[in-house]
Chains A and B, each alone.
Chain A
Amino acid sequence: MLIHLKIPSRFSRFAHGDHEFSLHVETMEQLLEDVCQQNPELRSRLLNEAGSLWPYFAVLHNSQRLSCEGLSNLNLSHEDTIEIMTLVSGG
């Protein structure tokens, strides 16, 4: 199924200028793996050595923020959007 992925725009320089992707995948893990395979420089920016998202990211599924639990039980549907948002902020 087709899933739309949005990552923070600051990471577009690690992804050939893009920060929005549409990928044919079944799971969240596949989604992250595919986008990092296509854009190897993204891997260390998004994922830790275990292949999980760094803890300073939040995930939004169809614009709703997911809890950790929600993320591990996530079922994707065709045309869903996943957005990765950085949590760190200050000022």
Chain B
Amino acid sequence: MSEDQASVASKSPWEFSFQRFYVDLSAAGVRAEEVACQDYEDVFGGIARGFKFLKDLAVEDAYDPRATLVMNLGLLSGTDFMTGLRTYFQAYSPLKRALSGQPSAMWSAGSGKFGTKLRYLGVDEAVFTGRCARPSILRIYRTGDDEATRFEFLDGTELAGLLVNDKIQKLHQRFPDAHFAVIGPAGENYQTVRFAAVALSTENQLKSGDPKSRYCGRGGMGSLLGSKNLLAIVADVADQRATKQPAELKSINQAVARGEGSRRFRDQGKGDGGGGTWANYEALNPLHAMPEMNFVPTNGDASVPLYRPHVEEGPYVVKDESCFRCGISCHKNVYDRNQEGKAGAFRAKLDYEPLNLLASNIGIFDIEQALELVEQVDQLGMDSISCGTTLSYVMEYNKRYPDKPIADGLSYGDYAKTREIIGRLGEGEMGEVGQGTMRLSEELDATSFAMHCKGVEFPAYLPQTNPGYPWALAGGHMSMRTMFLLLLERETDLDYWVSAITDKGYMTIRDDIVGICKFAGMTHDQVCDGIQALTGLEIDVPKLEDLITRTFLRGYQLERENGFTDDDYDMPAESHEECPQIELPYFNTPEFFAGLKRRVQVRLGEMLVENDMV
């Protein structure tokens, strides 16, 4: 949305318009369209508009050059709303699919400063189809304030094969005003890696030269960009001078930076912060409620050395750093401790999910090894969740079937071999493993311990404790917020869980409609206030909730229209087995889950009717 649309007056959706650019990669042609908004979906953008747009564009093969890839912003992306930095990639995924084989609609989101630059360029949405004839860079630029936004296709051969940060730093030298979306070697090898990510550059990365990208990890959106032969997108425009913030926004941004919602993600050293997602180690592991060994916790304390306080005892410094103008500073960046006791060489950015899935869950409990693996996966441009969970599947398979090993017999805790396999995986030499857990387990006819739903690997939360996973549209912790419910609320009855999934869990997708980070932890009221202050759109909590519900249902409907049946909403059989070492109630039995599934599916059908969507 353009700046002049912001106003204190309340505006209806149809008073807004947005800029969509159709980019035909085969023809190297671009067509701009100003679209008059018809509804809230159009105004908000993000996945609300994306799902609407993808409705009739299903493909049989995600890598078909005719497949559509949408890159867009949410309403608050690139605005002065703190954490409003999100860029979305949406498509029929090369990873998520129905049992019948049809690719399914999915999205992935990332922060960094790329989205802000797209906003400055007036690119609300770009729709990519076709395939570049050679490895390419797409530069989007504007030379002066009054100039039109232009697109140019550049030869990307010199970037081919480079790691993520090398690509970004090379581009930065050439386009010093720009920010970047790039793929790593994994995305270039899309045929053999279905879970490649898109990396977005950050200011800190460009200033320091360190590999500090943010990732749109889930669903193989990097593989899709690779299939289109697009190695990098450059958003090249000078920064805009900061404008005076509306008074309401100032107080909202203070709430983002210092309020309750973001507190758990802020640093512990800042008085009342919870320390970020890494603190899950100390929170979950004492109850053996944290994945180890392919989601079957050991009963011991092997993971204790990976707790942040223990890591800080070693030769490391952990610094909380941030994206552009964000006061939450959720990045927990680990550096070697230098001779002065200060931060020396950058090692890796540790969040709970990559650390768990590339260490404890594959039997690695040494922080030095963990840092190497997390960084390696990031640099090759793979989704650390899908990569880690697929590796743990391989290790478990080899443990169970020692007579017919795969991936050179890769086993739990074998750091050297893991590093070698990850390297080969990212370079496209491990086609079997690179298909992800679902396809690999089907191929091997060993699906009961393949930890995914709908082809999307589980994040680092135990499926034994979370029967909500199958209804996540785009990965189990980003799009269905049910992973902590058993731990915190300890409810095990069907009514509770039906409501958890069909009333509340999906509400977490709000931030992927709005364009802000989940870590901001804003209430719906605060989000509505921020939108009003920045755009003048007339919105209140009930309308916002309706929009979220419609978007969730649209995603569910896209699944059902593209090959999903009730059989697709299942969990791996072994996630229903009792695991006595988990010190939480055992309730996700096959019988419980069967009852839950029946009721959730019925309720979703009713919701479609209630929302006039059938």
Contact = CB atoms under 8 A, between A and B. Distances in A.
Given A45-B490, A55-B286, A89 B276 contact: yes
Contact of A87 (B283, B490, B508): B283
A88 B488 contact: yes
A58 interface: yes
A87 B279 contact: yes
Interface in B263-288: 263-265, 268, 271-277, 279-280, 282-284, 286-287
A89 B601 CA distance: 28
Contact of A63 (B271, B279, B484, B487): B271
A55 B282 contact: yes
A20 to B, nearest CB: 13
A4 interface: no
Interface string A54-91: 11101010011100000000000000000001111111
B356 to A, nearest CB: 10
B519 A88 contact: no
Contacts of A55: 282-283, 286-287
B461 interface: yes
Contacts of B280: 87-90
B238 interface: no
B147 interface: no
Given A45-B489, A86-B488, A91 B519 contact: yes
B353 interface: yes
Contact-size category for B? 35 or more
Given A45-B488, A45-B489, A85-B263, A56 B274 contact: no
Contact of A89 (B271, B272, B279, B489): B279
A39 interface: no
A85 to B, nearest CB: 6
Q: Specify which of A8, A44, A86 lies most central, judged by the most chain B CB atoms within 10 Å of its CB.
A: A86
B583 to A, nearest CB: 9
A37 B91 CA distance: 53
A13 to B, nearest CB: 9
B258 to A, nearest CB: 11
Nearest to B283: A56
A87 B488 contact: no
Interface string B455-496: 000011100000000000000011000011001111000000
A10 interface: yes
Contacts of B279: 87-89
Contacts of A44: 490
Contacts of A60: 272
Main secondary structure of the interface of B (DSSP, over half): helix
A57 B273 CA distance: 12
A44 to B, nearest CB: 6
B488 A90 contact: no
B319 interface: no
A89 B274 contact: yes
Interface residues of A, number: 19
B487 A89 contact: no
B352 A87 contact: no
A45 B519 CA distance: 24
Contacts of A58: 274
Interface string B478-522: 100001100111100000000000000000100000000111000
A8 B274 CA distance: 13
A30 to B, nearest CB: 24
B477 A90 contact: yes
B272 A63 contact: yes
Given A10-B488, A45-B489, A56-B487, A90 B271 contact: no
Interface string B330-347: 000000000000000000
Contact of B352 (A8, A10, A90): A90
Interface in B33-87: none
Contacts of B484: 86, 88, 90
B313 to A, nearest CB: 14
A90 B272 contact: no
Contacts of A8: 488
Interface string A1-20: 00000001010000000000
B74 to A, nearest CB: 15
A88 B272 CA distance: 15
A64 B489 CA distance: 26
Contact of B264 (A54, A63, A85): A85
A43 to B, nearest CB: 11
B274 A90 contact: no
Contacts of B276: 89
Contacts of A10: 488-489
A88 B518 contact: no
Nearest to B270: A65
Contacts of A91: 277, 477-478, 508, 517-519
Nearest to A83: B272
B459 A56 contact: no
A88 B280 CA distance: 5
A34 B489 CA distance: 20
A64 B460 CA distance: 29
B231 to A, nearest CB: 28
Interface in B546-569: none
Nearest to B476: A90
Interface in A25-52: 44-45
Given A56-B487, A90-B353, 14 more contacts: A10-B489, A45-B490, A55-B286, A56-B283, A64-B271, A65-B272, A85-B263, A86-B484, A87-B274, A88-B488, A89-B277, A90-B460, A91-B508, A91-B519
Interface of A: 8, 10, 44-45, 54-56, 58, 60, 63-65, 85-91
8 contacts: A56-B284, A60-B272, A64-B271, A65-B272, A86-B264, A86-B484, A91-B277, A91-B517
